[in-house]
């Protein structure tokens, strides 16, 4: 009987992994569509990116309910508790990343009204790097891969350095072209959102480590 219950529990843990992957994919798609809308000044795409927010919130609730069922249905051992607790923390970070993707989409609509004051190369790079961090953080959790999680945490320095580059570029624009100050400020806010996404991806990786070691920085 105990073995049957454990088998059922393990199957539900596997379902939890699948749901976490699905949520990560939704958030990644939202980021990708938001930055694409920004770069191409595509209002329709920005609005479609914003539609992901409801799906992300719904997925968060699904995972919360699954975690609660796992906690209530039988007595999880310490390792199980770490895995479930980490999932509950991670989905909060993923939901916040989804919120920031919506924030970026809203700014993409505002910024679609005028030609861009400069190439958005570094902002586009920030988007790509944060998406890699997000997916690898989720993979580290599902695979219980300590080393992969550590790599994600180290990668946050890349995002921080890109943000500083974007910030300096936009400050220079504000000085040289005062008429473009509003657009520069909006682009700086976009970069700030990507920096925050990097921070949340780092949190996800830290919770992946916690699920393995029981220790959280």
Read off the DSSP letter of residue 179.
Answer: G
Query: For position 119, what pLDDT does the model report?
Result: 81
* φ/ψ bin of 114: left (φ > 0), alpha (ψ from -120 to 50), beta (otherwise): beta
pLDDT, tens only, 20-62? 999 999 999 999 999 999 999 999 999 999 999 999 999 999 9
Query: For position 195, what pLDDT does the model report?
Result: 97
pLDDT, tens only, 146-162? 999 999 999 999 999 99
What's the CA gap between 118 and 212, in Å, rounded?
Answer: 44
pTM of the predicted model, to two decimals?
0.94
Question: What percent of the chain stands above pLDDT 90?
Answer: 85
**Stretch 180-203: mean pLDDT:** 96
CA 132 → CA 69, 89, 181, 186, distances in Å? 31, 20, 31, 24
CATH, range 2-213: 1.20.58.220
């Amino acid at each position: 009987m105990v073995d049957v219950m454990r088998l059922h529990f393990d199957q539900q843990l596997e379902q939890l992994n699948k749901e976490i992957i699905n949520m990560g994919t939704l958030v990644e798609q939202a980021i990708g569509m938001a930055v694409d809308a920004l770069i191409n000044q595509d209002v329709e795409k920005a609005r479609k990116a914003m539609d992901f927010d409801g799906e992300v919130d719904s997925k968060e609730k699904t995972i919360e309910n699954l975690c609660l069922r796992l906690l209530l249905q039988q007595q999880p051992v310490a390792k199980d508790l770490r895995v479930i607790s980490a999932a509950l923390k991670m989905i909060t970070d993923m939901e916040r990343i989804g919120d920031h993707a919506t924030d970026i989409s809203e700014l993409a609509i505002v910024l679609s009204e005028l030609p861009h004051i400069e190439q958005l190369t570094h902002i586009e790079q920030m988007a790509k790097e944060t998406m890699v961090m997000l997916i690898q953080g989720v993979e580290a959790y599902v695979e219980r891969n300590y080393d992969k999680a550590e790599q994600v945490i180290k990668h946050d320095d890349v995002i921080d350095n890109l943000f500083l580059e974007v910030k300096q570029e936009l400050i220079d624009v504000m000085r040289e072209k005062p008429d473009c100050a509003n657009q520069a400020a909006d682009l700086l806010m976009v970069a700030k959102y990507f920096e925050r996404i990097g921070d949340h991806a780092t949190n996800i990786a830290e919770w992946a480590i916690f699920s393995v070691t029981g220790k959280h920085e």
